[in-house]
Each structure stands twice: as structure tokens, then as C-alpha cells.
Structure 1
Amino acid sequence: MKLFGTVRWAVVGLLFLGGMINYLDRAALSVAAPLLSKELSLSPAELGIVFSVFFFGYAAFCFVGGYASDRIGGRNVFAIASVVWSVFCGLTAMVFSFGSLLVVRLIFGMGEGPYGSAANKLVSNWFPRRQQATAVGWANAGTPLGGALAGPIVGFIALTWGWRASFVIIAAIGLCWSAVWMLMVTERPEQNRHISAAEAAEIAADQDATTGGPAVSLGSLLARPAVLATAFAFFGYAYILYFFLSWFPTYLTTARHLSLQSMSFVSTIPWLLGFIGLAAGGSVSDAIFRITGNAVRARKLVLVVGLLIAALCVALAGSVETVQAAVGLMAVSVFFMYLTGNTYWAIILDTVERDRVGGVGGFVHLIANLAGIVAPSVTGFMVQATGGSYAGAFGLAGGIAVLGALSVAVFVRAPSGSAGLAVVGTRL
């Protein structure tokens, strides 16, 4: 467990690998979609519904997983979730119809839903406040790397042994990770036999700042404008992400006429830049926090600027003439989108009592992932209605992200001289 220097960073290392597997499993269908659609005779609208049904289960269990993390612990929620998502990833190989695919994807989504809120809960338990945004960034940085690996890995397996084999192989990888997780990770530092007394004391000494103040109900926290604004901004982030995750590979093959092999490698470029953005975003946010002494202002600056740039680039990507320009703009968009990826979670860690972090984080993540229901299906219907044009879908993704960034700019503010969060007369 001390491979990473301290036990807490070893926990983040396992979260990094878990996130990589999570997105490898999730992105596999997007890569295999051209082959799967042909075999099951799916229309673009039906394929959009398949992408969307995952998020009915996923969004609901973002909140269920977060709430459960406050009750039974993020470590236990993560263990259960990883087994469920791995098993149902493997069962994708057994589908035989549009209906059977819908059922498998729904339950697969339920398994993947708790990932973000459970990881945030564990970071809250394992890290001093000054390192939490960095830790969240690295804990989640494996997700775009998993998306990047999905193209070449799933593409190679699908072309060599068929698309069904790819789901079985990556499911086995997930189950192996689950076993290691259950053997190595505890809910809190003091429960871990590998941790030193010095590291446990360092973590505990800087966590008092995340608690304090009178206890408030979960419902009261969820109704506050700042929480709702952060959730809507996260929705804008997620709309770009799930538009890209679900439809960009198909866009490259149908609108840009790339082969499956070429698409598998070209689509990794945005994912790799996204990995850099997500890994760096937490460090940038924590660095601004150290300079300004105001945590929320640091998170807000990274969120608003990054999401606006991402919105502009994704909107432009749908109107350029060449595949190189489209991939380049999409890569820049994904980089800046992921640069903001830690800020939504970090605002929760900075402003919410630790015993409510799971529930509030799960709610914000639920709102964000409603985009996973909307974006794939709306894109499918838009493409079908316009005879195969993707320009409007790219523009819509950018417009929603702009509104999300503006909502944070207006409703989330840190008062002068305070690291806390204020919202138009309401202190959080």
C-alpha cells in the first residue's frame, strides 16, 4: 500500500485504476456500436435510446450510491458497484435484441452510478483539505484514460474475435480489480493497518475545516441556489462528455467516413488530452487556493473559464470542413471540460459537512447525469431528422455548457476574506 509514498495516495492510485476500468467498460459500446448496430439492425434513434437507457440507471444510482456512502461507507459501496458493473458489462456479450440490450445497459448503469460520489466520500475521509482537489483530480483522471484505451483495445478485440468477446474480456479485468480493492482498502485511515501514526495525524489535523457549524438537513442543503447552480454547471459538463462519449466515434465513421480501425485510434486523441486536463485541474485549483486563500473562488475560476472554452470549441467542431479540425477542436474542448472536472466535487468538499458529502455529491452527480439521458437520445433524433447532419448537435452541446458556466458565475460566490460559499444572501 505504500507504493505511492503514503497510504492515502495508494488509495487514490486504486481509484485511478478503478476509474480507468469504469470508462473502459462504459466506452466499449460506443466503439463497438457500428458492428453491434449492424448485427441487431438498430436505427440511429434506437442506438441513441440504447446510449440513453444506461443513464436512467446511472443517474438514479449516483444519488443512491452517494446516500449509501454516508451510511455504509464509500469503500463498501465501491466494492458492490464494481462487481455489478463488471458482471453486466460481460452480459452485454449475451444480448440478442434491442430489448435485451436495453435491460443489460440499464442495470450496467446502476452499477456504474455510485463511482463519483463514493470516490468523493473516500477522498473526504482520507485527505487533508489542502490536498482534496488534487486528490479528486487524480482519483478521476483514470476515466478519460480508460476512454482513450477503449478505442484501440475494443477495436482490436472486436476486429479479431468479434465485438462480443471484447465485453467479456474487459469484464474480467473489472472483477480482478474488485478483488484487489476489497482486500486492500478501508473506509477510514485509522482502520488501515499499513498507515503510520504520522500520516493519520496529518490527515486528521486538516479535516476540521470541512466540518463545523450547526448540522443542517440534507434537504436544506440540496435546495440552496449554489448547490443547484453547481449541479446545472455539472450538467453542462456532462452534456459535452456524453455527447462525445456516445456519438463521436459514430460521427467519425458515418459523417467523416473513417474506418473502424482509424476511428479507434483517432478517437483516443481527445481522451488523452482529457486525461491531462483532469489530472492537472485539481493541482491548478489547489494552487490558486493556496495563493488566494479562498477555496471556492479558486474552484469557481477554473470551472467558469474552462467550461466556457470547452463550450466554444465543441460548438465550432460541428461546423469545420476537415476531420483534422473537428478532432482538434473536440480534443481542446475535452481538455478544458476535464480541467473543470474536480471543481464540482471540490466545491462540495469545501462547503458541506463531511457526514453529508455523499448525499450532496450524489444529488449533484444525479443532476449532471441526466445529461446522459438527454444528450445521446436528442443527438440521435437530431441526426435522423436532419438526414445525418451533426452540426446542430455540436452547437446544442456548446450552448448548454455556456448556460452552466454562467449559472456558477451568477449564483456561486465567495465573500471577500472568507473561504466559504455565499449565495445571494445565503451562507453555505
Structure 2
Amino acid sequence: MSQSAAGAFGAAKSTKRTRVRFVILALLAIGTLINYLDRTVLGIAAPVMTKELGIDAAIMGLVFSAFSWTYAVAQIPGGVFLDRFGSKLTYFLALTFWSLFTLLQGLAVGVKSLLLFRFCLGVSEAPCFPTNSRVVSTWFPQHERARATGIYTVGEYLGLACFAPALFWLMGNFGWRTLFVVVGLVGIGFGIVWWMMYREPDQSKSVNQAELDYIAAGGGLEKRSEKATPFSWSNVGKLMSVRQIWGAAIGQFAGNTTLVFFLTWFPTYLATERHMGWLKVGFFSIMPFLAAAVGVMFGGWISDWLLKRTGSASLARKAPIIFGLLAASTIIGANYASSDAVVIAILSFAFFGQGMVGLGWTLISDVAPKNLMGLTGGIFNTCSNLAGIVTPLVIGFIISATGSFFYALTYVAAAALLGVISYVFVVGEVKRVEID
């Protein structure tokens, strides 16, 4: 009897699911945190850097925007590379090179060299989010993807929320160039960690069959096709004709407009428009990013909860994003507030809403054709990240022309409302798209 009981216990234990997918998710979260530190450390350095290098507001807007020029252009090539070579190699190369070009920004001697390194940074970071989306779709069943997306996306905001005071201190004591060197070296080190730890589900020695079956039953991809899908402009045209994809891309452009403001001009806004000292800027800059992190997590949780309760992917994915965009539009209220505390509260609520818009990547993972996930993610990210080109330039020209952020915040609010219109009238039903 005892041997039989022991055998039964061993069999039960052997069928218990492993949780390797959450280790993979932790890697994505850390990589995304480093990704956003690398692209946004320029915003922290900007007020000091502009004085040392003699850069005015309009030119600084150009420098902020330069990253997104190549970032947007490289999305489709990055997606094609991802579909052909897989997540492990793509993410390793992207992470290593974007960290290297971050480090090199610390050696910039003028606008030309700074622009060159920002261009290279944009190319290198292009495959990041398509890879994230592919990994989540591969490793997670559908009903866990929104929360998984929220967890890795929170790295966009927690990086600056947690490290902004330390980065301002580092800049104050060692100069702005040190910021780029330190953050770049951290990213290169993590690139090695990724290469050593990441595996596809069918290649992992840690995952058991019970977890693989669980992922597959929920619509995950058990393994990547041995035959890579060749790139064709015909596929690009077919994907671009799908209303779910281009409608979501407009909505993500709208949400990214708010995000880009906080990642580029926000420290300058606090320092020049609100006349805060550096210690106060470092403290107050934490609040909106923490709020955005909460928005990301809340959006993921409420989306998966709605999916379980209603069974409707359209309601579960779209409703939180629409609410988030409406919340982001309230940023215009900061134009009419005199108290710094009230301004930070308004900005925090707006950024909280923007955090929920990160669900757009979950929606794309739900609708993308299984054999074209990299290309779909690249198209989506190309369109959505046009905000990274437009927003810094528009805000830079507004400040240069008016000396104020009033119309800049108005522009950000109007873009958020455009996103609401797109999700309400364009996106339509959220379902997997089939492309011949």
C-alpha cells in the first residue's frame, strides 16, 4: 500500500505544471526596463546637455525625434528578421547594440554625433516590442496575455520611477555623460544574461509537458515553424488592409503621443514651465511614472478579468484602452492649474490612462496571423511610433515659438481623443486574422 501511495504521489507531482513562462516574462520585463532607460536617459540629461552643447529647444526636439525616425523605419525589417531568426538571437543582438549606442551618446561632442548615435539607437531597438509580443504569444495562453503584457510593459515606467532620483543624483555629481555610460554597460551585461537563459518552449529543458499542454490549450504556439515565412510586400499590403491592425495602430499612435511627452519633454516642463529645482524635479517626476505603472498592471488585470467573465476579446481588449485614452486627454487640465501638487496629480492621472493603452500589444498578439507575428508587430509599431517622430518636433517648435507648454499639452490631449475615435469606430472585432 505504501509503495502504491508513493507511486501515485510521484505521478501527481510529475503532472504539476512548471512555471517557466514566468521566468521568461521576468526576462522581458527587465529587458523592457533597460530599453526605456536607454531611450529616455536623454530626457534627464537634456536640460544640462543643451547648455553645454549649445542646443536650443527646436534643435533639441529634433534630437529627441531622431531616435524614432530610424526606429519606425526599421520596424518592418526588424519584424522580418524576427520571423526568420527567432526571438533569442533577435533580442540578443538588439539589446547588445542599443546598449552600445546608448553608451556612445556619452561621448557625443555636438549635434551631429548625437544625432548619429540616436539614429543607431532607433535601428537597434526596433525589434524589441515585436519580439516581446511574439514571446508572450508563444509562452502564454490567451487568457494570461494581457497580464503578461502589463507585467513586461510596466518596465517602461518603473525604470524611470525607481531610478530617476539616482540618475539625477548621478548627473549632479558626475556629469550627464556618466548617465549614458552606466546605463549602456548595464544593458550589455543583461544581453549576455538573455542569451544564456532564453529558450523557446520546445527547446527549454526546464518546462514540463503539463505546462506546454496548458499553453497550447490556450492558443499559445508550441514551437516556431521550421520553415521561415519569406517576406513579401504582398503580405504587408494584406496586413495593412486589416481594420483591426491599422485601427489599433492609430490608437497606439495616440497613446504614444502622451508617452513620448513624458519620456522627452517632461523633465524640461517641470524645470522651465513650473520652475522646479533639480531635487524637486527628481522627486515629482516619480509620481506620474508610478501612476503609469499602476495603469499598466490595472489594464492587464481588468482586461483578462473581462475576458473570463464575458468571453468577448473585443470588449476585454478595447474597453480598457478607450478608458485609458480618455484619461490621457485630461492632461490639458494642467494648463489651468496653479498648484504644483495639482499639476502633478493631473499629469499622474493622464499617465495612468496612457499605461492602460499598452494593451494594444495584447490586442495585436490576439489578431496577428500566427506565421506573420513579427511582420504584424513591425507594421503596428511603425505606425504607432510615428508619434515618437512627430511629438518631440511639434512640442519643440511650439516651445520655440511661444515660450510655453500650453499648446503642447493641448496637442497631446487632442491626439488622445483621436485614439478614442479610432478604437470606437475603426478597430472592430478582435479575432485572429488569417492571411493566405
The TM-score with structure 1 as length reference comes to 0.91
Q: Which residue of the partner structure matches residue 265 of structure 1?
A: 283
1:131 to 144, 148, 161: 144
Amino acid paired to 1:408: Y
Q: Which residue of 2 aligns with 1:295?
A: 313
| 2:302 partner SS | helix
1:400 pairs with 412, 415, 419, which one? 415
Picking from 341, 344, 359, the partner of 1:327 is 344
Which residue is 1:110 aligned to?
Answer: 123
Match of 1:340 in 2: 357
Q: Specify the SS of the correspondent of 2:154.
A: helix
| Alignment-mate amino acid for residue 322 of structure 2 | V
1:137-162 deviations in Å (ceiling 9; x for gaps): 11211111112234212211111111
Show the counterpart of 1:184.
Answer: 197
User: Is 1:380 paired with 2:396?
Assistant: yes
Distance 1:5 1:265, change over 3 A: farther
Whether contact under 8 Å (1:56, 1:106) holds in the other structure is yes
Runs of 5+ unmatched residues, structure 2: 1-16, 223-228
Alignment partners' CA distance in 1, 2:18 and 2:332: 42
Is 2:30 aligned against 1:17?
yes
Distance in 2 (alpha carbons) for counterparts of 1:356 and 1:283:
27
Q: Distance in 1 between matches of 2:271 and 2:346?
A: 17
Amino acid corresponding to residue 144 of structure 1 in structure 2: Y
Aligned to 2:335: 318
Quote how far apart the aligned CAs of 1:322 are: 2.1
Q: Deviations over 1:94-153 (max 9, x none)?
A: 100111111111111211222111100111111112211111111211111112234212
RMSD over equivalenced CA pairs, Å: 2.2
Q: Name which of structure 1's ranges 217-226 and 127-136 shifts more when overlaid on structure 2.
A: 217-226
Match of 1:390 among 380, 405, 413: 405
Q: Secondary structure, in 3 states, of the residue corresponding to 1:350?
A: helix
Residues 140 and 220 in structure 2, CA contact (< 8 A), matched pair in contact too:
no
Between structure 1 and structure 2, the one with the greater Rg is: 2
Summarize the alignment of residues 238-257 of structure 1 with structure 2, pairs less than 5 Å apart. 238-257=256-275
User: What is the match of residue 35 of structure 1?
Assistant: 48
- Residue 388 of structure 2 corresponds to residue 366 of structure 1: no
Match of 2:428 among 413, 418, 423: 413
- Structure 2: distance between partners of 1:404 and 1:105: 28
Which residue is equivalent to 2:185? Answer: 172
Give how far 1:309 is off: 1.6
What is the aligned partner in structure 2 of residue 81 from structure 1?
94
Aligned residue identity for 2:271: T
Q: Is 1:353 matched with 2:364? A: no
Q: TM-score, normalised by structure 2?
A: 0.90
Task: Work out the percentage of aligned pairs sharing the same amino acid.
Answer: 33
Summarize deviations over 1:153-193 as a string: whole Å, max 9, x none.
Answer: 2211111111111111111111111111000001x201011
Write the deviation string for residues 186-216 of structure 1: whole angstroms up to 9, x where unpaired. Answer: 1x20101111121112112222799xxxx99
Q: Which residue in the other structure is 1:201 paired with?
A: 213
Instruction: Give the alignment partner of residue 282 of structure 1, picking from 285, 300, 315.
Output: 300
The one-letter code of the counterpart of 1:87 is L
CA deviations 1:18-40 (Å, max 9, x no partner) are 11111112221111111111100
- Contact residue 368 and residue 432 of structure 2 kept, 8 A: no
Q: CA deviation at 1:54?
A: 0.8
Counterpart AA for 1:194: S
For structure 1, which segment, 356-365 or 88-97, has the greater mean C-alpha deviation from structure 2 after superposition?
Answer: 356-365
The answer to whether the 8 Å contact 2:94/2:128 transfers is yes
Q: Report if the CA contact (8 A) 1:66-1:114 is conserved.
A: yes
1:39/1:170 Cα in 2 relative to 1: closer, same or farther (>3 Å)? same
> Which residue identity is paired with 1:361?
G
Tell me the distance in 1 between the aligned counterparts of 2:387 and 2:310.
Answer: 33
Letter paired with 2:431: G
Contact 1:319 1:391 in 2 (8 A): no
Shift of 1:369: 0.6
Aligned amino acid, residue 361 of structure 2: W
Moved more, 267-276 or 201-210: 201-210
Q: Secondary structure at the match of 2:206?
A: coil
Equivalent residue letter for 2:42: L
Residue pair 1:65, 1:118 contacting (<8 A) in 2 also: no
- Shifted more, 82-91 versus 191-200: the winner is 191-200
Cα distance change on mapping 1:248 and 1:331 into 2, 3 Å: same
